[in-house]
Chains A and B, each alone.
Chain A
Amino acid sequence: MNQRPTSLRPTGALLNSAMLNSAMLAGALLGGVLVSAPVSAQEDVRFGIDVPYEPFVVRGADGELSGFEIDLGNELCQRAELECSWVEQGWDGIIPGLLARKYDAILSSMAITPERERQVLFSLPYYNTPSVWITARDRDIDISDRESLDGLTVGVQRGTIRDVYVTEKYSDVLDIQRYGSSQDVVNDLQAGRLDLTFEDFPLAVEGIDFRDDDSPYKQLGDTIKTPTSIFGEGAAIAFRQRDEDLAEQFNAAICEVYADGTFDALMEEYFDYDLSVRPSDADCAEYR
């Protein structure tokens, strides 16, 4: 029903093994000639990206790509002292395209998953979309007080990370109703069948009126992005496994944009909520 339930793309085309094998064979043959040619400053880094994905990337009337990820990618390249260009690629073929050297990296809201990690090398994550508790404005619910939640009904979309989260953390107190689509959850919230919903933030912004002071619904507590064992680490740049040096350069750049506030400024330009995943000091220590 909903092709992209979160702004992070949770599932991707899996390479079929024949394709993978031939790609590896081609890589092995080429490897003999171009013994891991380092990407130097003079060379372009080409980013593969799936267009459009508002507000992360859109093609404007003038034909130019713009958006949060375009700006972020260009900023990162500047920090890494690289020349960058963008290559459009449909989502289904985006990993095969990387392995076939159509471009050198994927910067396209790709969530880090164990399946993908077998095929590509991920940078540090650069963003993750939060989830949020929502209830009717006139309800007085304290989400941090577990006891007070006893007997309340929460609606979630079945099989999503939000489903996993409430099932693991709240199944002893909350009555969990699982729906096939996000729209059905909103329907029953409006119908008064649900006391609460736990929803992907960008989806909630689209479907539920909860952000103004006089809107019928309201946010409860802070937005939630952890634990990463459930919500994932977030979206990262994907490189070919052997391009470790390139990945390091971009990791350093990601640490830099987070440290000096450039990321936050850029984020505020496009979003009015927090989707940052600040890398830990330990992650950035080696790039200082």
Chain B
Amino acid sequence: MESLNLWWTDLLSGNAIFTANTLEFYWNGLTTTVQLVFLSLVIGLLLAVPLAIGRGSKRRWIKLPIYAYTYVFRGTPLLIQLYLVYYGVVFFEGIQESMFWPIFRDAFYPALMAFTLNTAAYTTEIFHGAIKNTAKGEIEAARAYGMSKRLMLRRIVLPSAFRRALPAYGNEVIFMLHASAVASVVTIMDLTGAAYYVYARFYAPFQAFIFVALVYLCLTFTIMFAFRQLERRLLAHLRPRES
């Protein structure tokens, strides 16, 4: 115990890397990562609901474009999509003079756009699968009540589909958090960007990245916990009865 204590104080006093300055870098990285992931998930979710409904449509001109979109965005790496949105967009003639340039000039919005489109594609497929799996009996019962299609969708199909999609969507949220690490390649100082910076500054890859890995772990744990609570509430009817 004595030696452990000694080792510990030794480690802390001899530490030149985790100063207030670098911790501030990590903190700013954390807020950037959380902002980026949270915003892209919220916008992606809002996009995914109508897209998932359209994806199950019988009309080909609605169904096929959405299928093409999800196919392309799920079929290519996020890094490539990010490169295309960030570096590719500048090759459009006249973009620098257009009203969109203030948005594309910054690295944050191109990254947000790539992440949103990516997560929307995955979420669309998750919701589409859940909607397709709605029990026939529920739909028949809704019809028997004389519900219109719109009302049935709102009251029966979507609520039960969301519940069923919840575990898969929880995974998507965690994947998105981890995938956001690629944001640092377009100069965004997210958590990974901060780790790269500390690594390059102090030539200490192990300390820089192990620390950031722990931060990601904490974030993942928080997300997992939140979804566990949500599932407990929303999927209570699926749990075995407690006597």
Contacts and interface: CB of A to CB of B under 8 A. Distances in A.
Contact of A158 (B96, B105, B107, B200): B200
B183 to A, nearest CB: 12
Where chain A touches its partner, the secondary structure class is mixed
Interface in B115-172: none
A192 B185 contact: no
A177 B105 contact: no
B9 interface: no
Contacts of B90: 187, 190-193
A225 interface: no
Interface string B199-235: 1110000000000000000000000000000000000
B187 A159 contact: no
Interface in A68-95: none
Contacts of B201: 159, 164
Given A191-B90, A192-B90, A192-B96, A158 B185 contact: no
Interface in A181-220: 184, 187-188, 190-193
A193 B200 contact: no
A155 B186 CA distance: 11
Size bin of chain B's contact surface: 10 to 19
A155 B87 CA distance: 15
Contact of A180 (B87, B107, B185): B185
B197 interface: yes
A187 B200 contact: no
A187 B96 contact: no
A191 B197 contact: no
A155 B199 CA distance: 18
Contacts of B196: 158-159, 178
Among A164, A178, A180, A193, max chain B CB count under 10 A is at A193
5 contacts: A177-B187, A178-B196, A179-B187, A191-B87, A192-B90
